[in-house]
């Protein structure tokens, strides 16, 4: 912890527009707090500590440490660490040790702004009134950042020492006051929540913060949206007893956001295609594609082929990367709103038998032989499957995962292990002009769909199924192109438990690969059930055509789909929390998490 608490922030990947500022590590202490202009540079560099989640864990996605996917790359960080229960492995360092260090460095930057801003000379171009207003806004932004960084630490490590001063490395007894770890209530309810409330009151409002010139700047809705998330988590089974936060409290926080900002935010609906609307909901913003859904995001510049090739199918020249699981595919409903399987558990997944097969709901029309037909359009917007048209450089424009074919070539170590590739977060426009295109892929932290689903979950837990719960779910599902209404599902409307499992499933498919799943299954107290389960996939084989056929008919029936176990996983109860990095424990004597 010593190094993490003492180091000032270094520059991460750059942002644009309002955030395009000089990195703070180029500024000396005297210069930083010697003028208002230099202080602004230092403070705005904190935006660089908002992390980009794509391939963040050594060329793998954090959701590849869950049941949603498996990385095809043998050196992928999650594959060599979290998936086998070895959290200390080097492949997991970007998620474990780098998180610990970078969050505390970001926190130290915030503490310096909060505690030292009064000593900074007034900007000579501002009136005293303007100076005082700008000071209060900057402090509010720093408090938001600090609360957010501590929240990220809490998700991974539980309550950690709360440092609100700038520690002096020359002080003999610097660490001792921070060896005792706070309780959940002390950390979240007594610190993070009040910090977010104070930040919201002091930050700029939506109108001021939402101009194109300040794209990505912190503003009040971001703090209120994070409050909705935090209270939902604190009302969840894992935390409710310690926190004292109720489902009614969580529902009120979500409703408050909708009441205050419902005219400002809405689900993405610019495209004719529901699948495109869903896909663009995480790629674009109000300024890059008239997307009013994104609330809190990391504002990055456009990207090109080099930024996506890790996760592109091998038949298109990519490295396979993040390969969705059959576990995820099984969670998508039929397009008419019916469930393909007879029973779902609290993880949101169908109930599997000993052979990894779920019992089919015969009324849905689902069959394994045609498992990708007539499904929720979010499936095709998220997952690339056999026969799907995708790509620009291949002679055959279809995904083909039959052994020996373009996307499953013999001898290619990066070919999909699950029978699927990822489509979500991969802008297809980059593939144009022989992979010479560019596109935005901003990292979305909170979007309006989450607020709606937060409200639905909290209302169901507080009061049971209702027309209001069904309407909130339908808003998200109808945007995706599902035609049926949740209120017409008698199996859901008469049971709080069934609706709970349905909402858990809905959150999983809506937020696939957006880093919700690792924390949702933990707060629901079902992480062992979800994450120790095998990763399922499919094997696709030819039917009626010889292996030598140059042209392949992708009509269902010309290939056979067989379920398989793609990877065994390790997840035990003590893995609900990450271990504190060993170096920090050795240096400080800080108590590690149970089981580590």
Radius of gyration of the chain (CA): 24
Using 50, 70 and 90 to split pLDDT, how confident is the model at 498? very high
Predicted model pTM: 0.94
Residue labelled with tokens 């560019």: 438
Note the CATH number of domain 2-212+575-588: 1.25.40.890
What is the rounded distance in angstroms from the CA atom of residue 220 to the CA atom of residue 280? 24
Per the CB < 8 A criterion, the answer to whether 384 and 399 are in contact is yes
Q: What is the pLDDT of residue 15?
A: 38
pLDDT tens-digit map of 169-200? 655 555 667 788 999 999 999 999 999 999 99
DSSP string, 380-429: HHHEE-TT-B--SSSSS-B---STTSTTS-TT-TTS-SSS-EE-TT--GG
**Which of 125 and 455 is assigned the larger pLDDT?**
455
Q: What is the pLDDT of residue 186?
A: 98
What is the rounded distance in angstroms from the CA atom of residue 512 to the CA atom of residue 514? 6
The region, left, alpha or beta by phi > 0 then psi within -120 to 50, assigned to residue 322 is beta
pLDDT exceeds cutoff 80 at 331: yes
Using 50, 70 and 90 to split pLDDT, how confident is the model at 588? confident
Structure tokens that stand for 168 in this block: 């002096």
pLDDT tens-digit map of 347-379? 999 999 999 999 999 999 999 999 999 999 999
Q: In percent, how much of the chain has pLDDT > 90?
A: 82
Domain residue ranges in the chain:
2-212+575-588
β-pair partners for 344: 350
pLDDT exceeds cutoff 50 at 6: no
What sections of 158-246 are H helices per DSSP?
Answer: 184, 193-202, 206-209, 220-235, 240-243
Q: What is the pLDDT of residue 557?
A: 78
Indicate the pairing of strand 322-324 with strand 69-71. antiparallel
Q: What is the pLDDT of residue 576?
A: 98
Per the CB < 8 A criterion, the answer to whether 377 and 335 are in contact is yes
What is the rounded distance in angstroms from the CA atom of residue 61 to the CA atom of residue 1? 26
Least confident of 166-180, 427-441, 511-525: 166-180
Using 50, 70 and 90 to split pLDDT, how confident is the model at 50? very high
């Amino acid at each position: 912890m010593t190094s993490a608490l003492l180091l000032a922030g270094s520059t991460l990947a750059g942002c644009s527009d309002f955030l395009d500022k000089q990195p703070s590590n180029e500024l000396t202490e005297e210069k930083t707090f010697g003028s208002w202009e230099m202080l602004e540079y230092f403070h705005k560099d904190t935006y660089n500590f908002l992390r980009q989640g794509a391939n963040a864990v050594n060329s793998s996605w954090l959701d590849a440490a869950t049941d949603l996917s498996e990385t095809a790359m043998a050196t992928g960080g999650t594959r060599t660490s979290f998936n086998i229960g070895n959290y200390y492995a080097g492949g997991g360092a970007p998620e474990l040790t780098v998180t610990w260090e970078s969050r505390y460095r970001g926190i130290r930057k915030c503490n310096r702004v909060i505690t030292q801003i009064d000593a900074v000379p007034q900007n000579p171009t501002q009136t005293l009134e303007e100076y005082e207003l700008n000071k209060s806004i900057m402090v509010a932004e720093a408090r938001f950042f600090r609360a957010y960084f501590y929240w990220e630490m809490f998700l991974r490590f539980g309550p950690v020492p709360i440092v609100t001063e700038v520690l002096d490395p020359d002080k003999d007894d610097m660490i001792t006051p921070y060896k005792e770890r706070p309780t959940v209530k002390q950390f979240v309810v007594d610190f993070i929540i009040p910090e977010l409330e104070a930040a919201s009151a002091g930050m700029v409002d939506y109108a001021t913060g939402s101009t194109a010139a300040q794209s990505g700047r912190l503003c009040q809705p971001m703090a209120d949206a994070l409050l909705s998330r935090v209270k939902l988590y604190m009302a969840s089974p894992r935390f409710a007893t310690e926190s004292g936060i109720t489902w009614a409290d969580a529902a009120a926080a979500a409703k408050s956001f909708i009441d205050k900002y419902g005219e400002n935010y809405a689900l993405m609906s610019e495209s004719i295609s529901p699948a495109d609307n869903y896909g663009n909901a995480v790629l674009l913003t109000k300024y890059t594609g008239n997307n009013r859904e994104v609330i809190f995001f990391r504002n990055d510049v456009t990207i090109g082929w080099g930024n996506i090739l890790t996760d592109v199918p091998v038949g298109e020249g990519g490295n396979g990367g993040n390969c969705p699981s059959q576990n995820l595919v099984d969670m998508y409903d039929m397009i008419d709103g019916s469930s393909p399987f007879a029973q779902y558990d609290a993880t949101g997944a169908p109930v599997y038998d000993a052979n990894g097969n779920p019992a089919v709901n015969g009324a849905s029309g689902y069959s394994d032989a045609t498992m990708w037909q007539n499904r929720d359009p979010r499936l095709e917007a998220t997952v690339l499957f056999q026969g799907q048209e995708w790509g620009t450089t291949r002679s055959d424009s279809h995904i083909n995962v039959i052994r020996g074919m373009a996307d499953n070539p013999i001898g290619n170590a990066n070919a999909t292990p699950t029978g699927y590739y990822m489509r979500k977060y991969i802008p297809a426009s980059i593939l144009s002009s022989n992979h010479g295109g560019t596109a935005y892929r901003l990292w979305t932290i909170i979007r309006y769909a989450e607020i709606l689903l937060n409200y639905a979950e909290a209302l169901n837990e507080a009061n049971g199924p209702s027309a209001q719960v069904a309407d909130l779910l339908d808003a998200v599902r109808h945007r995706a192109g599902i035609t049926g209404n949740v209120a017409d599902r008698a199996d859901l409307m008469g049971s709080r438990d069934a609706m709970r499992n349905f909402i858990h499933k809905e959150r999983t498919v809506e937020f696939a690969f957006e880093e919700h799943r690792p924390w949702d299954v933990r707060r629901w107290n079902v992480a062992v059930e979800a994450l120790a389960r095998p990763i399922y996939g499919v094997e696709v084989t030819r039917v009626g055509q010889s292996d030598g056929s140059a042209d392949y008919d992708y009509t269902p029936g010309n290939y056979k789909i067989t379920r398989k176990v793609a990877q065994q996983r390790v997840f035990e109860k003590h893995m609900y929390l990450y271990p504190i990095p060993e170096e920090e424990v050795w240096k400080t004597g800080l108590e590690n998490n149970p089981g580590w």
